Amino acid sequence: MSLVSVVIPTYNRGKSIERAVQSVLAQTYQDLEVIIVDDGSTDDTSGIVAALIEKDQRIRYLQHDTNRGAQAARNTGIRAARGEWIAFLDSDDWWLPHSLETRLAVTKENGVRVVHSECYVTREDDNMKPFGVPPLAGWIYRHVLAHPGPVFPALLVAKEALEKIDYLDERIVSWQEWDTAIRLAKHYPFGFVAEPTFVYDCRGTDTLSKNILRDALGYEQIVRKHILAILLHAGPRALAWHYQSVASRYQMAGDQRAVQRCTLLALLWWPFRPRAILRGLRRLLSS
């Protein structure tokens, strides 16, 4: 039985899926399986994956009949996994060679069931720079309620931990990794790897983060879902900060009604801030 199951959701990423898979197969730690979950691709993804499987039988290929979203694809992969550990990789990103080895070492040294790491990010200029991931370790529940958490390719999680939280929430339209981190952090301490373990590719035109309205909707979904926990553990100031962040995202998306609603909620939850009040009033008057 493979110790680590690497789940790669993909949708019409024929141009990048091979790079992602090869970065897993090239790991210094080799006791693994690769589970590619094709979420209804209409390009040449299946043919590319078939050629990869001919060369390495550790690769498994699962397909959805229709496009159900990345969360559903990840859940399909998690349920099919044979390993004790689940690692995630998006099909347009890639791992560095010691990615699994370094994260697994932390699980053994610290006895944790969830590990995340720093990463490199590459943008339109093709330069790779450290992302600047907060070095969060231990019981980080309060922090991830107050601030967005690790991205999926940073996470190495025991399968039993994902089963305990009843898998990933397929209703969340963006910021899904933040919701997952919150739910895991409620039950488990986290470990952290300070060195980058993967490259987060932000050059693609189809990346979810570039859909600003969807970004705002998903962020607000998570705030609403965890609103009581945010209030109890992070306080009303953190909740107000989240609604300010959502209002800014709706502003960029051009949804003025949502800007008004979220700005008012931010002011209601933490009204004792003259500068925030002035900014909020300007938003309300300009919308």
Interval 129-149: pLDDT, tens: 999 999 999 999 999 999 999
Same domain, 165 and 136: yes
Q: Are residues 202 and 222 in the same domain?
A: no
pTM, two decimals, is: 0.90
The letter for the amino acid at 273 is R
Number of domains in the chain: 2
Does residue 225 share a domain with residue 263?
Answer: yes
88 & 135 share domain = yes
How much is the pLDDT for 4? 98
3-state secondary structure of 56: coil
pLDDT tens for residues 228-282?
999 999 999 999 999 999 999 999 999 999 999 999 999 888 775 556 555 665 6
94 and 185 assigned to the same domain: yes
Predicted confidence (pLDDT) at residue 159 exceeds the cutoff of 90 = yes
pLDDT at residue 26 greater than cutoff 90:
yes
282 burial type by CB count under 10 A (0-12 exposed, 13-18 middle, 19+ buried): exposed
Residues 39, 164: one domain?
yes
Q: Examine the domain organization and report whether 203 and 215 are in the same domain.
A: no
* CATH code (residue 48): 3.90.550.10
194 and 228 co-located in one domain: no
Q: Which of 207, 235, 253 is the last residue of a domain?
A: 207
Nearest-CA neighbor of 32 among 41, 19, 23? 23
Q: Looking at residues 111-115, what average pLDDT do you find? A: 98
- Indicate if 190 and 221 belong to the same structural domain: no
- Residue range 69-83: average pLDDT? 97
Q: Which residue among 172, 207, 242 closes a domain? A: 207
* Rounded distance between C-alpha atoms, residue 177 and residue 179, angstroms: 5
Domain coverage including residue 280: 211-286
pLDDT in the model for residue 208: 43
Contact in structure between 49 and 17 (CB atoms under 8 Å): yes
Provide, rounded to the nearest whole percent, the portion of the chain with pLDDT above 90.
85
Could you read off the pLDDT of 204-230 as tens digits, one per residue?
Answer: 655 444 589 999 999 999 999 999 999
